[in-house]
Each structure stands twice: as structure tokens, then as C-alpha cells.
Structure 1
Amino acid sequence: MPTTNTSLFTGLGCLLVASIIYFRKLKANAGNKHLPPGPKPVPVLGNVRDLQAKELWLPAMNWAKQYGELVYLHIFGQGLVFVNSPEAASDLLDKRGSIYSDKPQFTMVCDLCNCKNMVAFTPYGEQSKRQRRLMHKAFGLPRIPNYYPLMKTATTTFLSHLVASPADYLAHVRRYGGSLTLDVVYGYEVTSNDDSFLTMAEDAVGVLANEIASAGGVWLVDLLPWLQHIPRWAEGLPGMSFKRKARGWKKQMEDFVDGPFEYVKNSIKSGSSKHSFCSTLMEDDTVVKSSENFEFDLKWTANSMYSASIDTTITTVSHFLLAMMDHPEVLKKAQQEIDAVVGQDRLPTFEDRASLPYVDAILEETWRWGVPVPLNLPHRLMEDDIYKGQFIPKGSLIFGNIWAMCRNEGLYPDPETFNPERFMDKVDDETRRKRDPRNFVFGFGRRQCPGNKLVDSSLWLLISSMLATLDIRKPVDDAGNVVEPKVVFENPIFRTPNPFGCDMRPRSEKALKLIRQHNP
């Protein structure tokens, strides 16, 4: 025990000294310049009391209302800047992307769990640029139609599973998102809910989102990096178990990266590979020869696609279901539009999208109202900057407050209400561009999700097909009373609700036959 106390007090002492040095340096750099406003910190600890691990976007919204488009806080001297308006996000994260595109290198997730090569965590530089080139090469807008057949198969399979066991909707959504991504990225076809790659992928993503990123993703070792070097015997001491956990999580992440990638390589060698993100690039000699790091970059970029898409898919579909249960009039109007354009003898296709503006508006409003990643993943400022007279220190973590942008009353009157009609209004092109939630929900600048067109297309087909074939209602109990869904958010990064009750069934016998004919 004395060893533990000595280690603890030594760590706190180092933290105190580091904080004092930081503040002196910050004061010297700032001079007469002013930091952005924000909640008042306490000495040394900063704004620890103002932060919360779950639903941080709620107090961040209040700060935006109280302090304006930039808000500054710090934890033990580590600056946090919340960018709350679309204009400020564009000015800083887009137009000044050369200094706002870095990513923080947290010791736990990046070093101990070996996630530093995932696209979301790669520092801004040559590696991140190579990764983005690969993603744009395979997922640029002209390439998206190549994946339409895979999206169609995944969608009809999902509908078939859903009508067979609607109570298991979350498992079906997970399988839809996981199987589609494994097929698109690796050309791997999932054939069961307990498929080894699907299970491996779900476990790895679950560890990343719910374990490594728990409590906001900041561990003691992130504040005191020297703790990563503690000997193995010390891992049993209070607060020191992080290193033992990290070893297990690191293996999970590396197995997830290596397993599906080896499958693609073996499939190409045997001549049995399907069209996919990996096969497209591995069979392009120009791309292969463009970098000596090609295979390493591709392996980690492919893995990142799965990690990014699965939670976005689950979150979006969950909010879509909640909205349809609360607004049956929206569901009915969408079905009327689909019946008029598509009829009831087939499912919607991508060729129908331009003729289904209300269905498109429902997806846009689901993005806006649901906000899959309310605070984005933080960027890291690479050098001191000044914005509208406010000093932003080098090394600050920059959070795009997507929640506040999607609740901006100037862009979206009555923002708490789910209302697709807001996207049906006739407005000029500039207003339409400003109000498009896809400008926010996929991130900003040079770190915007390169797979956004793929995700948008796949979810449009899924949602339009659900609207065409299903009635979605609140469940009722044995006495016939409506049971209100209990909506709880526990994921610290994605705004994914915990499982809730939902009654889904085919809207007609014809709809059921249509689903079955695609999946007999």
C-alpha cells in the first residue's frame, strides 16, 4: 500500500507541476489576447466538474447558448474548444484545415490498444493523406453505383429477418450493418448471426465504443503517460488495471484488422474474390505501386470503414424507428408517396430517389434530429490561432458541436420537433446548402468521413424499403395499452439509444409477399 500511495502522490505532483507550467506558458503566449468564453474553471483541475461522461452534448448545448459560437474549457490544462456554429466550423475546420486536421494521440487508445493507425486516430500527415486517397478512390461518388447490388441484397435480407422476428430488430440492424460493410469492404458474405467475422467485428467495435472510450475516452494514463511503463506486477494495484485490459483489447483489435484482410488476400490468390473496397484497390497496379506502405494503409483503412459505419447505421435506424412511432402521419404520407411513384408490386430503387422527395426529407430529418455523433470526434489544433479576436492555444482539442448546429433555431425553427416538412420548403440553393444536415453529421474539413456517400445511399435504400413495406407503431401490453418506448443514452460518443420496444409488421399481405419473393 505505501508503494501505491507514493505512486499516486508522485503522479498528482507531476500533474500539478505540469498544469502550472502549462498555465504559465499559456499566459505568456496569450499576452493581451483573450481565450474564448466558457464555464469558470477551478485551480489546477480546470473544468472537471463541468464535464460528464454521458450525453456531454447536453451541457455543451447550454454553453453554446450562454457563451456563443466558441466555448473554451480545460482539464488539468488540456484545452477543449467547442465550435458551435456552422460558420465557425467552416472557417476553422474547413478553411483552416491545414492546422485543424490533426487528431489527439491518447496513450490508452492509440499506443496501448494499438488503434493509432485507424483513420479516426491517425495524426494529420502523410499517412492520413494516403488513407483518404484510398477511400476516395474506392468510395468516390462515381464508384457508389458499383455497390448498389450489395445494398439491395442486404436490405431485402434485413426485411425478411425483421418480419420473421420483429422483437429482435436490433440484432437484425446489427447484422444488416455488419454484413453489408463486410461485403462492401472485404467481399465477405455473412451467412448467419453467429458468423465468426461478424462476431469478431461486433466485439471489437463494442470494445472500442463501450470500453476504451468509456468515461469520455480519457484514462489516467492519458493524463500521466509515464504510467504505461509500469511493471506487470504493479497492474494489480488500485487504478493500475488499465494496462492488463489494454493487452486483451489490443489483441481483439489486431485480430479484427488482420482476419478479414487475410481473407481478401487469399480470395484474390485463389481467383474467388468478389468486387469490394479491398479487391478494387489490390487489383489496381497503379494504386498498389503508388506507395511502399500500400498494404499496411489498406488494411487499417478497411478496418476503419467497418468501425465507422456500424454505429452510425444502428443509431440512424434507431432514431428513424422512434420518429415513426411518434409521428404516424409522417409514415402514412411517405407510404402514399411511395405507392404513387413506385406502386406496391416492387421495392424502391435508387432510380426512384429523385421522385421521392418526402422520403429523402425523412432521412435528412433523421440525420438532423437524431445526430449520430453529437460532438464529432475531436480534432487537435497544430499551432496557436486567433478567431474573431479570440485566442485558441496550440494543442487544444476541437469539438465540432454538431448537436448545437442541428438545433440551430435560425436554420431549423422548432428544432426539437421531428418535422420532415422543413426540407420540403422552396428555398434558394444557398439556403438549401446551409440547411443540409449532411454538411455537419459526417464531420468537417479534411477529416470528414470519406464514406459518407456510401452510408447515405445504403440508409436511404433501407429506410425507403421499410417505409414501403412496414407499419411501425408503439407496442401495446396484454391489456391493449400503448407502451411508451423508454429512451436511454449511455454510449459516450454515438447517440445510440438502448434497446426499446417497437411494433413492426408488414403493412399488407402484398407487402409480405413482396418481402418473401426477394428472400424465399
Structure 2
Amino acid sequence: MGVSSFVALGALLATVYLWQRKSKKSLGALPPGPKPVPLLGNILDLTAKELWLPAMKWAKEFGSVTYLHVLGQGLVFLNSSEAAFDLLERKGSTYSDKPYLVMVCELCGCENMVAFTPYGDQSRRQRKLLHRAFGTQVIPQYFPLIESSTKAFLQRLLVDSSEWVKHTKLYAGSLTLSTVYGYELRSSDDKFLKLADECVDILSNRIASGGGIWPVDIFPSLKKLPLWAPGSGFLHSAQKWKRKMEEFVDEPYKFVKTSLKSGTAKPSFCSTLLLDDEKKSETFEFDLKWTANSMYSASIDTTLTAVSHFLLAIMQYPAELAKAQKEIDSVVGSDRLPTFADRPFLPYVEAMYKETLRWAAPVPLSLPHRLMEDDVYNGMFIPKGSLIFGNIWAIVRDEKLYPNAHAFVPERFLEETDDVTKKKMDPKSYVFGFGRRRCPGANLTDSSLWYLMVCMMATLDISKATDDFGNLIEPKIDFNNSVFRIPDPFQVDIRPRSEQALKAISH
């Protein structure tokens, strides 16, 4: 496609967009937002790196709802807890669709992943499978596995704390491979872990670069470009990424099927459902394979983000660790690791955990929903087909909800408040997503992250690293992941609290 044709298509789309906007003006004005440029819209306002920062500025400037468009494709940011709950929760039936992005869904083969499945029968089937395996009542079945995986993580950490990123990925990958596929991961060089690492990077950084919207998403006809044509580089990338994503979905599932045939399968999400006597639909195995992969692919980066910010918080606020350790010592003692039975008796630890989730905001702009029909909210017209982002970063940095929001203050969750305010303040109401698109693995992630953090606080002293001359090394923080708020690796000093802690970890 030549440049002149591309411009003509852009002009046509812009004309249609303006006509639609004018024809629906009676429904209300669009939400406020940064001024677009002709034809291109707000494409220059989007950044591949830390998009949540300009989104925060829009929230402060334009209020609870911000509207942008890229070549007519509406992008709506919900910047307050009220707006997010009003639309994504209370109006979930019209705000629960997922955008069909040609690049990620069709060309890269991800259309059947839970995060990209359109709202309908398939998404409901997937959710049903996930609820059967990871509903609130089922999670205690995973406690022994979480405890053994956490102990193995602590043991590896004490052998070489400089590799804490690798150990965290191994922990998350091992736990999820075990729960989803019954696969025992033995090292950080494991084929499935490496495959997951590569594919999550493709999803989070390559496909999602620049906001995740590619020219082919705006002009689907570009997918028919000959591979030899100028500008077809995205097609070559998509072919390579699709092969890798298909391998990522197929290979762990084949392992489960082979294990069942040989009689060596361990209890897991897949094996339990495959052995279930309940009558299965024609789509059952297809749904199961893609649902399992979606659970696996989401866990590693979420865990790494939370652990990274937990370490940063401890280094910056060492007094908070000391308070938590004092509480743990009084309830648990020093001769054993904490258990899930201790959780109700550790309110300060719970506050530390909640503040870490708030401070981290692992997916600061959530994953986009798609509006299924025109809507009007507080006099603002939101067009059908708009992509809706829950601006989690703006919500958890709201000074009205969290005074001194940029500071790490666990005590904010120990203050006496009414039940409505308590729920509104709870970061778990936001960081796992909203409505019918809320992370289906939230219950498992909540349990595993809490246990990992309480065991780290019980057994480890965490502080800033020092150089050869004893000078403190300030951690250099940089964010280069387009979806998850994962800082680049940094140095940290991690060592056992005591001989009793070493014994508790070793036995």
C-alpha cells in the first residue's frame, strides 16, 4: 500500500469518525481529554514506556473520565474508583467485551487466550473452568504446594541472593506449572519456563509496545500486504510470534495428556478436569488448553512485579519491616515458618501486603475492556467500540482515598473505618481487574503472594546493597515493560535473620 493510499484511508476513517460524532452529539459531549491532531488523533500522546504517567496527568487535568482517539478508535480511561465501579462493575454486561485487535488476536494467534476472548459463550465457558479450579473454596487445597514452593524459593535465595529475579520467576513458574499442569519444574533453565519467559515478553513488550494498537488494527486490509512489500515487517514478526505462542499453548498440555496415558499424572487443574466424569462438550479440551495457558502466562510477571516492589519498599522503609517482624515473632515464634492458619492473627503483616499491592500496581492501566453499545455516563457520551481502561495507577494514587499516596504507609489499612470505605480502600478491589474481566486467578495469586511475603519477613533481613567500600548502593529504578510495572533488576542485600530462621528454612 502506497503512502497516498494510506493517507486516503486515514482521511476516510477520520471523516466517518467525525460524522458519527456529530450525528450522536445529542447524546452528550465526549469526555474531556488531550487535544488530538488532525487525522491521527492522539497517537502522539501515547507512549510505549510508562503510559500510566501521562494517564495520571490526564486524570488530574480532566477528571474521572478521559477520552482520546487514535484514527477514530476511542480510548477511555476511568480515573476514579467511582467511575471504574459504575461502568466496569455495575454495567458489566456492556463493558465486559474484549477488543479484537488484528495483530495480537488474528496474526499472532492469541484470540483464544482468556485476556482476549470476546464476551460470550467461550468466555463464560473459560470462566466456569477457572472457577471450578480456583474458586475461593478450592484455594486451601493448594496451601501445601504454596508452602513447599515458598520454602524452596527461600532456600535458593540464601544460596545466591543476587539472583533474586531468577529465583522469583522460578518460584512463580514452578507453582503455576504444578497447579495448572502437574509439571515439576527443576531448574531456571527448564524448557517450559524459558518458553513462558519468551512468550510473556512477546505479549507484554513487543506486541503491546506503543499501547498495543498497530496500524493493522486500524486498517485490517494491511494484513493482506505481500510479505515482500515495504512496511510488511510486522507480518514477518507476527508469523514468528504466532509459532512461538502456539508452542506455548500446546506443549505443556501435551505433557498432561501423555502423563495421564502413562499413569504418572499428578493432580492439577488440567488432569482433574480431564478425569472428571461430568459430560464434556465438544469444545471442552480446546477451552481447557487455552484457559490453562492463560492462567500460566499471567502469573510470572504479576508475582515478579509484586516481589520487586516489596523489596523496594523494605529498602526505603526499613522501620516497617521491623514492625512486621515483631508481630510475626509474637504470633509465630522463631522456630517455624508461618502458616496460613496464622494469617488472621497478623494484622500488620496484612497491612504490609495490601500496601505493597497498592504501591506496586502490577498492571497500572489494567487490560482494556471494549464497550458493546453506546453509553452515557454523567452526561458524557462514550461511543460503542471504545476501549476502556481502568486507570488503576490513578486510583491507588488518589490523595483523597490514600493521603500521602506516594509514601509506603501500611498503617493506613489499620485505621478504623466503615465497611464501605474499607472495601473502597482495599487495593485487591482494583489490582486484579474489574467486573467480569477480573483476573480469574486472583484468589490463588492473593494466597501465594501473601505467604511469600510473610515468610520473607519472618526469615530475612532486607536492606540496600553496599559496594566494596561499604557505601550504600541506591537502587536504580527503570520501567521498560509496556503492560506490567516491573522495574529492571536492581541490587539488594538479603540475608537470614538468625540461626533459627536458617533452621526453619532448611527443615
Same fold (TM over 0.5): yes
For 2:467 and 2:292, the matched residues in 1 are separated by 44
For 2:361 and 2:348, the matched residues in 1 are separated by 19
Matched, 1:220 2:215: yes
Alignment correspondent of 2:473: 483
2:426 to 430, 436, 442: 436
Matched, 1:294 2:284: yes
Alignment correspondent of 2:33: 38
Matched, 1:266 2:263: no
Question: Which amino acid in structure 2 is aligned with residue 341 of structure 1?
Answer: V
1:463 to 444, 453, 457: 453
Query: Equivalences for 1:43-62 in 2 at 5 Å?
Result: 43-62=38-57
Shift of residue 9 of structure 1? 2.3
CA deviation string 1:142-182 (max 9, x = no partner):
10011111111110110011000000100000111111111
Question: Which amino acid in structure 2 is aligned with residue 270 of structure 1?
Answer: S
Query: Equivalences for 1:208-287 in 2 at 5 Å?
Result: 208-234=203-229, 237=230, 239-286=231-278
Q: Which stretches of structure 1, 4 residues or longer, exceed 4 Å deviation after superposition?
A: none
Query: Equivalences for 1:129-144 in 2 at 5 Å?
Result: 129-144=124-139
Alignment correspondent of 1:207: 202
Unpaired runs of at least 5, structure 1: 1-5
Shift of residue 290 of structure 1? 4.3
1:95 to 74, 84, 90: 90
Query: Equivalences for 1:178-217 in 2 at 5 Å?
Result: 178-217=173-212
Question: Which amino acid in structure 1 is aligned with residue 86 of structure 2?
Answer: D
For 1:468 and 1:323, the matched residues in 2 are separated by 16
TM-score (norm 1): 0.96
For 1:417 and 1:197, the matched residues in 2 are separated by 38
**Alpha-carbon RMSD:** 1.1
For 1:11 and 1:431, the matched residues in 2 are separated by 51
Matched, 1:503 2:493: yes
Alignment correspondent of 1:167: 162
SS at match of 2:138: helix
SS at match of 1:386: strand
Matched, 1:454 2:449: no
Shift of residue 128 of structure 1? 0.5
For 2:13 and 2:109, the matched residues in 1 are separated by 26
Question: Which amino acid in structure 2 is aligned with residue 265 of structure 1?
Answer: K
Shift of residue 486 of structure 1? 0.4
Question: Which amino acid in structure 1 is aligned with residue 275 of structure 2?
Answer: E
For 1:90 and 1:402, the matched residues in 2 are separated by 12
In structure 2, relative to structure 1, the CA distance for the partners of 1:226 and 1:341 (3 Å cut) is same
For 2:85 and 2:208, the matched residues in 1 are separated by 27
Asked whether the equivalents of residues 362 and 485 of structure 2 are also in contact (C-alpha less than 8 Å), the reply is yes
Question: Which amino acid in structure 1 is aligned with residue 208 of structure 2?
Answer: A
Matched, 1:387 2:377: yes
For 1:430 and 1:228, the matched residues in 2 are separated by 49
In structure 2, relative to structure 1, the CA distance for the partners of 1:190 and 1:10 (3 Å cut) is same
For 1:225 and 1:272, the matched residues in 2 are separated by 46
SS at match of 1:446: helix
CA deviation string 1:273-310 (max 9, x = no partner):
11111112112122xx2422110001000000011111
For 1:367 and 1:381, the matched residues in 2 are separated by 28
Shift of residue 12 of structure 1? 2.3
Query: Equivalences for 1:287-366 in 2 at 5 Å?
Result: 289-366=279-356
Asked whether the equivalents of residues 165 and 489 of structure 2 are also in contact (C-alpha less than 8 Å), the reply is yes
Alignment correspondent of 2:102: 107
For 1:20 and 1:314, the matched residues in 2 are separated by 45
Alignment correspondent of 2:483: 493
Shift of residue 31 of structure 1? 2.7
In structure 2, relative to structure 1, the CA distance for the partners of 1:9 and 1:285 (3 Å cut) is farther
Alignment correspondent of 1:401: 391
Shift of residue 32 of structure 1? 5.6
Question: Which amino acid in structure 2 is aligned with residue 376 of structure 1?
Answer: S
Determine what percentage of the aligned residue pairs are the same residue: 59
CA deviation string 1:305-362 (max 9, x = no partner):
0111111100000000000001110111111111110011100110000011111111
Asked whether the equivalents of residues 46 and 211 of structure 2 are also in contact (C-alpha less than 8 Å), the reply is no
Question: Which amino acid in structure 2 is aligned with residue 244 of structure 1?
Answer: H
SS at match of 1:233: coil
For 1:240 and 1:398, the matched residues in 2 are separated by 29
The count of aligned residue pairs is: 507
Question: Which amino acid in structure 2 is aligned with residue 371 of structure 1?
Answer: A
Alignment correspondent of 1:427: 417
For 1:459 and 1:158, the matched residues in 2 are separated by 12
For 2:111 and 2:195, the matched residues in 1 are separated by 19
TM-score (norm 2): 0.98
Question: Which amino acid in structure 2 is aligned with residue 507 of structure 1?
Answer: R
SS at match of 1:351: helix
Alignment correspondent of 1:516: 506
CA deviation string 1:463-492 (max 9, x = no partner):
000001101000111111111000001111
Alignment correspondent of 1:85: 80
For 2:340 and 2:319, the matched residues in 1 are separated by 24
CA deviation string 1:354-382 (max 9, x = no partner):
01111111110011111000100111101
For 1:323 and 1:448, the matched residues in 2 are separated by 26
Shift of residue 30 of structure 1? 2.6
Shift of residue 125 of structure 1? 0.7
Asked whether the equivalents of residues 40 and 70 of structure 2 are also in contact (C-alpha less than 8 Å), the reply is yes
SS at match of 2:85: helix
Alignment correspondent of 1:3: none
For 2:127 and 2:389, the matched residues in 1 are separated by 21
Question: Which amino acid in structure 2 is aligned with residue 281 of structure 1?
Answer: L
For 2:188 and 2:322, the matched residues in 1 are separated by 32
Asked whether the equivalents of residues 73 and 218 of structure 2 are also in contact (C-alpha less than 8 Å), the reply is no
